[in-house]
Each structure stands twice: as structure tokens, then as C-alpha cells.
Structure 1
Amino acid sequence: MTLKPTLLAASLSLGLLAAALPAQAALAPSANPAAVAWQEAGADADIERAFAQARSEKKPLLLYWGAKWCPPCNQLKATLFNRQDFIEQTRAFVAVHIDGDSPGAQKLGTRFKVRGYPTMILFTADGAELTRLPGEIDAPQVLKVMQLGLAGGRPVKAVLADARAGKKLNVNEWRLLGFYSWESDQDQLLPQAEVPALLAQLAAAAQDPDTATRLWLKSLAASDDGKGGLKADAAQRARLAKVLTDKEDARALADVLTNGAADIVKTLAPQAGPERQALLSQFDAALKRLEADASLSRADRLQALQARVDLARLELAKSEIHPKLSPALLKDVKEQAARADREITDGYERQAVISSAAHLLGQTGQWKDSDELLKAGLAKSHSPYYLMSGLANNAKKQGRKDEALRWSEEAFNKSQGPATRLQWGAGYMANLVELSPQDSGRIEKTAALLFNEAAQDKGSFYERSARSLQKVGASLKQWNAKGQNEAAIKRLRAQLDGICAKVEVADKQRATCEALL
């Protein structure tokens, strides 16, 4: 089960939307004078001070890990972090923000086992991890989970141990399990491979009906590979049909339904045929209602549309770039994308929505519209390199290699922040090796630049940055698979040896550095 690029959060009237700026000026995120009092953390010392404050004031600690460019992070800023009730509630916490591009952020990521943006973790006042909050649940549900922290709830690890032992849990403890971010657990509670079966077991044992249904749906979404132990029978399909046709249930479970639609259908109807067709029809009707639900944010409604497209493409080849979809669905995607571009004026919301809308246009074969939407958004985005990557991917999928490389290079050149630059640089390197392997000069120059930038950041061999550099190393190994570029690799290896030698031998990142080439 993987985190999707969008998240579900309740919509509300933002009130302080930024006014539209001239075409060449990026839209500024909306300003809120009564904002969350985040404490910025970029090193262990910052974290220790925050935990000391939490113990002293007997407050839980809320840790938020994110990045400027990240669409789901921007969605949180647009629909949750600016809510007055959320802001008020955070005053009962020590609120800590880790920007993924701050100097020590990736090392802190290793400490807390956080890999994906965004991740939110609640800790008790004494430093025990209470729970991880899913980025895709809606704002009122986030607030309820936070209230469990304020109520002195037990850490989710202890709650899970009791649940697995068959001990009785109260309703709030079942809800803690139901709303736990299993997708970003990072083996905190159990190995990821064991999660699907565990979710099915918890769903069967849950004494709270709403939580039982939530856990059951999550188990279905996690079990499409057949590892969850769930049987695709008529009773399971009838249960899903009941959820989908009940408007209140579908709304309460919208985050699971919209993010897991295709996986759920594949679990309950593994093969094409009447049973799958019936589920597709029931799902599409429920998703249409969610798409039109004004109580949801624009990003959430777009995610419902994304789920409809995922289901429509279910029996098509993943590589199909001009899928045969219904004209009505194509029209809906085009209209929703145009409306989002026309109506969104808040910088945070644009970053969350426009790239998703462009992705939808591409998935439905409307590539020209996708390109136009991304290009129109460049001047309005505070992180245009994210949209440039979308343009590069569009061109690559359609076989326009030169254009793909041009956008990929520009995205890397415009990217900002040490972790972000390594991530975008790794993407550019992969495209160079795949699309222009004969351009040895540019490939070596780009690799040397990335290694040089890594040398400037002490956190380069931790978490996301380490994975970016490992991707660079893998691309170079592919480029030299037959030894045809050995001279360049030797020069790069010599450069890297000098960088690794400056990392303390006892530091685990020394081994990460040395393994790259």
C-alpha cells in the first residue's frame, strides 16, 4: 500500500485567499496572522529542546515533516493548518516543523523513520510515539485523532499489542488504530509485508462498527496482491456495495475509497467479468457523488475523479497513452482541470491541485491540455520545477526525447534546497542515461555536480538524499554496464572517494557513500 500524491482533507472557506497576481508573478500562499506557532527543527539539539519543553509543560508534541514543493504538504497548508480550530488545538501541543531541505532534516528523518512528505507524528509528553496521522484523512478527523493525544491516550504500539492479544479496547483506542497511518509506518509497529493480514484481523476484531469498516476497506486496498488472506466472495462484495450506496458511509470513508478504489476492486474481483463490472458501476456512482460534494476540498473532489479514471483504466495496459475512455469522463476531466486553473488563487492550493489535474489530463490521453495547464502554472507556482518535471514526464511518455531532457534539465536547474536538488538531479540523471546515453560529457558533468553538492551538505547520505544519490549511482552503473564508460566512472569514483573520506568512519553514512559506485 503506497501513499498517493494527493490527500483527502475537508474543505472550508479560506477567507484569506491571495489576490490574483500579474501573469509573470508567482501566486503567494495566503497569509494568516493567527498561524500555528511552529518551532523549526533542523538538528538533534532542536528536537531535544522541543521534547524538554514538552516534558516541562506536560504537553504532547506534534511533529510535521514536509517540503515546500510537496503537493500534499501544500494541501495541508491550504485546508488544515489555516483552520482556526486546528490552530487553537495546536496551542495545547509543542508544534515542531522539519523542513526536508533544512541542513539536518534528512538525518532527523532517519531518527524518526520518516520517508515520505508529509508525515505527522504525535508524541506523548514523555517522548513516546503516540500515533502517525494519515495525510489523506479529512481535517475534522485529524482534529479528533489529535484530541486522543490531549486526552492522554496510550501509544498505538501498546494499543496494537493488546488488540492482537485479544484484550478489550475502548472506542477511542479502536479509532486510533483505524486512523493510524499504516502507509507511513516504516516498520515501526510491524514489517510492511505483514500489514495487509493484520488489518484484516483488526477489522474482524474491532468492537467499533465504523472503525471495523474502515480497517476492512484498508485491508482490501492493501491486499490486491493476494497477500492479505482475504477471500473475494459474494458476501465481501455485498458489504462493499452497501458502503458505496450509503451516502453517509461513503462520505465518512471517502479517504479510503478514493485512494484505494482500484486496489479494492482488484481484491474483490480479480478477473474481468460481471462481478468486476458490477463493482465498477457501484464505485463510479459513489465517486461521482464525492466528486460533486461541496463539503470536500477541491483536491479531494479531484481525487474522487482520479479514482474514477483509475477504475476506467483498470483493464487497460498501464503504458497506454491514448486510452479509449468514455467521452463523458474525458469531458469531466477537462472541465475540472480548467475550472481549477481558472478559480484557484491561493498559492498553496494551486501547488496541491494543478499538478494533479495535469496528471489526470495525461492519464486520459489529453496531453496537449496537460502541457498547457502545466505551462500556464509555471509563473504562478512557488515551486515551478515540480511542474517542469510534469512536462518532462509528459514528453517522455510520448517519445519526445529532446523535449523531455530539456524540461528535466530546467527543472533540476530551478530546484532549490539541498535534498530537493539531489532528488531532481537524480531524476535528470536517470533521464540522461535512458534518453541520451551517448552524451557522456553531460552525464559525467551532471554526476560530478551532484557529488559536489552532496559534499556541501552533512545530511546528504541520510534518508531521501541518500536514496537520490543511490539512484544516481544506479544510473551510472547502468550507463557503464558493459564497461564502455569506465574512464568517466573512474574519475567520478575518485571524486566520490574524496568525499567519503571526509565522513567519520563510525558514521553509518560513510558506508552509504562508499557503496554508491
Structure 2
Amino acid sequence: MTTFRTKLSVLAAASLALALLASPAAHAASNSTGNSAAVAWLEANGDADVDRAFAQAKSEKKPLLLYWGAKWCPPCNQLKATLFNRQDFIEQSRAFVAVHIDGDSAGAQKLGTRFKVRGYPTMILFNPEAAEITRLPGEIDAPQVVKVLQMGLAGGRPVKAVLADARNGKKLSANEWRMLAFYSWDTDEQQLVPQQERAGLLAQLAAASKGVDEETTTRLWLKALAASNEAQGVQPDAALRQRVEAVLASPEQSRAQMDVLTNSAGEIATVLAPDAGPARDKLVAAYDAALKKLTADTTLSRADRITALQARVDLARLGQPKETVNPKISPALAQEVREHTARDDREISDGYERQAVITEAAYTLGEAGLWKDSDALLKSSLAKSHSPYYLMSYLGNNARKQGRKDEALRWYEEAFNKSEGPATRLQWGSNYLAALVDLAPQDSGRIEKTAAQLFDEASKDKSAFYERSARSLQKVGMKLGSWNAAGQHTAAMGRLRAQLDGVCAKVDTADQQRATCDALIKAPAKKS
């Protein structure tokens, strides 16, 4: 990514590059005038835009890559900072039609329903006939994403067909096994398998992949462990424990499995060693040593390295209640967290990278019990962020965890007020209202006013009752219901219900949005 320079001409070039990365539409405009230094993203704001893109893909006999993201989303900013600006990715993009859906665009949430996408970011590769080849994992490092994309572009079959063959014992190619191992199960949205069955399926695939290559089989086993819990999933045996220990002991293998090891450290360690004692201590020591190497590995992005550091803190907190504010971690680890996050704060100059790293750094500081450092980092970064409301939410969370209710509500309110984009505003507004109900239920005036504002904003958004926006409003309805559980706020609820009736009346009854809208608040019971 570009960095700040002293010469005006270089600064101007950097600003142009950042603008291109920030706006996929600008990418397309730039490419149409002959500049090939960016991906030619097509903006999709509704079904018609996507249908045109699929028609183009079919006529050009090209796959289509759909990227769904949001301005504030840290992993999305990570993709902008490390993947979308890579020359090999840009060159590879000429082999497919690139489509960008901004989660705050007019028709984005309806498109989310169409494509079964919820989490930011989601990347889906389709074949020219519009069948899903795979969902690309956003958590792996950029070079791995490029390799997975290359496999998908090289005549990859739809993932549903590949998975069906694997489950039926049919022979798969080595690349097809790798595609299953690298499939973004976290953004699958239960299309291939219900969430509660995912760990078992991944274990079956891991066992069936034996003999393909050890790295693929290991990745499937690690993902199975990460998806497991006490109720369901993998029951590890000695062979699986030895496999994981071998990965942790090998810097090369740990590097190859970096994303699973860092994002699921607590889950993997708990499944392998559920009880406190010598066995867990031995595993955690080996795991921490591997993570320490990853934290210092400069071939990884700063975001990946801070995630590895966060995983070390997670392991240090094992056995302590999740809500612990002042966890017991070693002074040495606490000092490492301080030094690492301070170094990132000093060295990062790119806005996308800062959005991806600083919030994770602040969270890591908090999880280590270093609350003053976390608050200071967030506050000093507000003016440097293109989405400061995201950081304000973290400040609200910090204050809430430490019992500072009034301060938490001030940050949540400011985050909502500063948030931008219809879907984002509904999400931030629902978070603020939820905090009001939890922390200040007696403030009925502010609660009613906030709910009324959200319903008013929803009335102006044609996608308000789809996907993420619908879930935000459902959260509002649920929290209002709990607030009025004893009927103590019936008058306010009646006014809100009347307002909502007016909003719902404008929604087509044939549209699924109408049912969602009608169900948000139960109509007040009629007096007999």
C-alpha cells in the first residue's frame, strides 16, 4: 500500500491510489481510460446490476467474483490493504468479472438475501453459468487467497457438486480437496451444511482426504476442531493430538495453517485439552511458542500478527471467566502486548491498514486487562479513521465492561450519531438502543426517541427489512419487548407500534419485508 511521503507529487499519487481502492466504481472508470493499475470493479446496487454482470460473464465465458463489504469493516479494509492492491490479484482479475456490493448501497441488503451473504466481507466465485464455485476465505493471508482463486478459476466445479461427491466416496482431484479445505465455512450461511453439523462434516472430510496431501488433511482437521464444542464435534484421539502438536512444533506448518491457529486458538486448545492440568499446560505452552513465532513473522501482515498476539492472550485467559475484566496474564505477555500495539500505532500510515489493525490492537489490550492503553489508542486514532464511529463503539464496550455506564452510553450515542449509510446506521442505532435498555431502562424518553428515529430511518430505506438491516430492526423489537415485559411502558410501545404500522403499510404485502416489519413489535392487547 502507499505510504505518506514528503514530496507533493508522491502524496498526490498516493491519494489517487487510495481513492481508487476506496471506490470500486472509480477502479472501473480508471480502467476504462486505459489505466490497468486497479481491479475493474463493477458496482452493483440491485438485481438489475448483478444480472447485467452475470450476462457479461456468460457472454465473455468468464467466472464472476462477487465481493460484499462495508467501509467500516476491519477485515474488508484488510483486503483493501493487502489483497486488492496486489499486482498478481489485479492481473488475475482480468480473467473474471469483478462485482462489488457496498453493504450500504440502496439494494445491498436485498442482494444479501439473494446470495445468502451476511457477514462482511464475503467473496463468492461463480462460474459463467452463475453457479457458486466457492466462497473465498477472507481470513487467510493474501498470497493464499490468490492461490485459492487460481484453483477456482482453473475450471473449478461448483462446490455443492464437489462436496456431494466427497460425501458419497467418489474420487476428487487434489485441487478439489484443497478447495474444500479452504472453503469459507464461516460465511457459508448453512447452504452446504447446518452449522451444528459442520464440525462432524469437516471431520469426515479430513478422514476421507487422507493420502491427498498432509497440509490439506491437517487444515480440515483443524477446522473441524475449531468448529467443535462440548455438545458436538470432534472427539480427538492420540493421533489427532500428535498431528496438532507436529503443526505447532513446525514453523513451516504453523505458517501454512496460520489463519485457523490464530483465529481459533481457544477453541482448538479447549477441545484437545478440555480440563485444566498438566496436559493442557503442555499444549498451551507449545501453542504459545508457535503463536509467538507468528507474531514476529514479518512475512505476515500486521493484522495477521496482531491476531496471533490476540490468540496468545486468549490462551492465557483459558479457564478464567469470559467476563473477567482484570485477567491473570504474565507481566511479560502484558508488556509484549503494550509494545506490539504501540509499534503498530507508530508505524501504520495507511488508512485501510489502520482500520484493520488498530481496533484489533485495542481489543487485545482490553483482553489483557490494559484498559487505559486500549482507551488511549482508540481515542488517539479517532481523527485518523475514515470510520471513527467504529472505534467509538469499542470505547463504549470498554467503558461498559468496566461498569462505567454513563460513559458507555455517551460513546454508543456518539457512534450512532456519527455513523454513515442506511444499513450501518440501523446497526449502530440498534446497538445504542440495546445499550439504553440494558444500562438505563428508566430513561424511557430516550429509548422511545431512539426507537422512533430508527423506524423513521427504516421508512426511507427500501432494503430496511432485508438481511443485516432486518436483523438490526429485529434486535430493536426484541429489546423493546424485554423493556416492556411487565407492561410498564405500554403507552410508549403503543405509539411506536402506531408509527411502525405506518412504515409497514408502505411495504408491498407480497414482499418478505412486510412480514418482517409487521412482526417487529407485537400489537398491544385490546382491552376487553
Instruction: State the TM bucket, normalised to the shorter chain.
Output: over 0.9
- The corresponding residue for 1:216 is 221
State the Cα deviation string for residues 298-357 of structure 1 (Å, max 9, x = none).
000101001000000011111110112100100011111111111100000000001110
Please show how residues 432-443 of structure 1 align to structure 2 within 5 Å.
432-443=436-447
Contact kept in structure 2, 1:54 and 1:125, CA below 8 Å: yes
Instruction: Identify the residue that residue 516 of structure 1 maps to in structure 2.
Output: 520
* Aligned pair partner of 1:171 in 148, 154, 174: 174
Q: Is contact 1:358-1:373 (8 Å) kept?
A: yes
Q: Using the TM superposition, give the Cα deviation of residue 209 of structure 1 relative to its aligned residue in structure 2, in angstroms.
A: 2.1
| Residue 82 (structure 1) aligned with residue 70 (structure 2) | no
Q: Give runs of ≥4 in structure 1 deviating > 4 Å.
A: none
SS in 1 for 2:67: strand
The residue that corresponds to 1:109 in the other structure is: 112
Shift of 1:389: 0.3
What's the CA shift for 1:91?
1.1
Letter in 1 for 2:251: K
Residue 20 to residue 277, structure 1, CA distance change in 2 (3 Å)? farther
Q: Where does residue 495 of structure 2 map in the other structure?
A: 491
- Whichever residue aligns with residue 212 of structure 1, its letter is T
Q: Secondary structure at the match of 2:374?
A: helix
Residue aligning to 2:317:
313
Q: Report the equivalent of 2:198.
A: 195
| Correspondence for 1:17 | 3
**2:28 is matched with which residue?**
none
How do residues 47-446 of structure 1 correspond to structure 2 at under 5 angstroms? 47-206=50-209, 207-228=212-233, 230-446=234-450
Letter of the 1:131 partner, please give it: T
Q: Distance in 2 between matches of 1:192 and 1:232?
A: 20
CA distance in 1, matches of 2:191, 2:235: 28
* 3-state DSSP of counterpart to 1:195: helix
The letter of the residue matching 1:40 is E
In 2, Cα distance between equivalents of 1:57 and 1:94: 9
Deviation of 1:208 (Å): 2.7
How far does the alpha carbon of each residue in 1:221-252 deviate from its partner, in whole angstroms, 9 at most, with x for none? 11133411x22333322221111101111111
Task: Determine if contact 1:110/1:463 at 8 Å carries over to the other structure.
Answer: yes
Using the alignment, how far apart are the partners of 1:248 and 1:312 within structure 2? 24
Unaligned 5+ segments in structure 2 are 8-13, 21-34, 522-528
Instruction: Assess if the C-alpha contact under 8 Å between 1:20 and 1:345 holds in 2.
Output: no
Q: Whole-Å Cα distance in 2 between the matches of residues 35 and 289 of structure 1?
A: 34
In structure 2, the CA distance between the partners of 1:52 and 1:406, relative to structure 1 (3 Å rule), is: same
Letter in 2 for 1:220: L
Structure 1 residue aligned with 2:18 = 30
The 8 Å contact of residues 17 and 345 in structure 1, kept in 2 or not, is answered as yes
Check whether the contact 1:174–1:208 (CA below 8 A) recurs between aligned residues.
Answer: no
Distance 1:18 1:483 in 2: 58
**Which secondary structure does the structure 2 equivalent of 1:429 belong to?**
helix
Distance of 2:475 and 2:5 partners within structure 1: 40
| Identical-residue share of aligned pairs (%) | 71
User: 1:21-62 deviations in whole A, cap 9, x for unaligned?
Assistant: 9xxxxx978356711111000100000000000000000000
Structure-2 residue corresponding to 1:4: none
SS class of match (2:299): coil
Contact in 2 for aligned 1:223/1:263 (Cα 8 Å): yes
SS in 1 for 2:264: helix
CA shift, 1:151, in A, is 1.3
Q: Give the SS at the match of 2:98.
A: strand
Letter in 1 for 2:215: D
In structure 2, the residue matched to 1:10 is none
Contact conserved, 1:18 with 1:347, CA < 8 A, in 2?
no
Q: Which has the higher contact order (CA 8 A, sep 6+)?
A: 1
State the distance in 1 between where 2:5 and 2:431 align. 34
Letter in 2 for 1:221: A
Distance, in Å, in 2 between the alignment partners of 1:399 and 1:20 is 45
- Look up the equivalent residue of 1:208 and give its one-letter code: D
Deviations 1:96-123 (A, max 9, x none): 0000000000000000000100000000
Cα deviation digits, residues 101-147 of structure 1 (max 9, x gap): 00000000000000100000000011111000111111122111211
Q: Deviations over 1:167-210 (max 9, x none)?
A: 11111110110100011111211211111000000001112321
| Kept in 2: contact 1:60–1:124 (CA 8 A) | yes
Residue identity opposite 1:101 in structure 2: D
The unaligned stretches of length 5 or more in structure 1 are 1-13, 22-26
Deviates more, 1:234-243 or 1:269-278: 234-243
1:425 and 1:231 map into 2 onto residues whose CA distance is 42
Distance 2:75 2:6 in 1: 22
In the alignment, the residues of structure 2 paired with residue 104 and residue 151 of structure 1 have an alpha-carbon distance, to the nearest angstrom, of 32
Structure 2 CA distance for partners of 1:31 and 1:498, relative to 1, 3 Å: closer
Question: Structure 2 length normalisation: TM-score?
Answer: 0.92
Instruction: Tell me if 1:501 matches 2:487.
Output: no
- What is the TM-score of this pair, normalised by structure 1? 0.94
Q: Quick one: structure 1 residues 486 and 19, their matched pair in 2 at CA, closer, same or farther if it must change by over 3 Å? A: farther
Judge conservation of contact 2:137–2:182 (CA < 8 Å) in 1. yes
| Contact in 2 for aligned 1:59/1:92 (Cα 8 Å) | yes
Q: Is the 8 A contact 1:224 1:264 kept in 2?
A: no
1:458 counterpart = 2:462: yes
Give the AA of the match of 2:220. L
Take 1:437 and 1:336, find their aligned partners in 2: how far apart are those partners? 40
Letter in 2 for 1:388: M
- How far the C-alpha of 1:255 sits from its partner, in A, is 0.7
Contact 2:75–2:121 (Cα < 8 Å) also in 1: yes
In the TM superposition, what whole-angstrom CA distance separates every residue of 1:364-405 from its partner, at most 9, and x where no partner exists? 111111100000000000000000001101111111111111
* DSSP 3-state at the match of 2:507: coil
Q: Provide, for residues 398-435 of structure 1, a one-character-per-residue CA deviation record: whole Å limited to 9, x for no partner.
A: 11111111111000000000000000000000111111
Q: Secondary structure at the match of 2:119?
A: coil
* CA apart distance, 1:153: 1.2
Counterpart for residue 6 of structure 1: none
Secondary structure of the corresponding residue to residue 18 of structure 2:
coil
Q: Which moved more, 1:56-65 or 1:239-248?
A: 239-248
| Residues 409, 432 of structure 2: 8 Å contact kept | yes
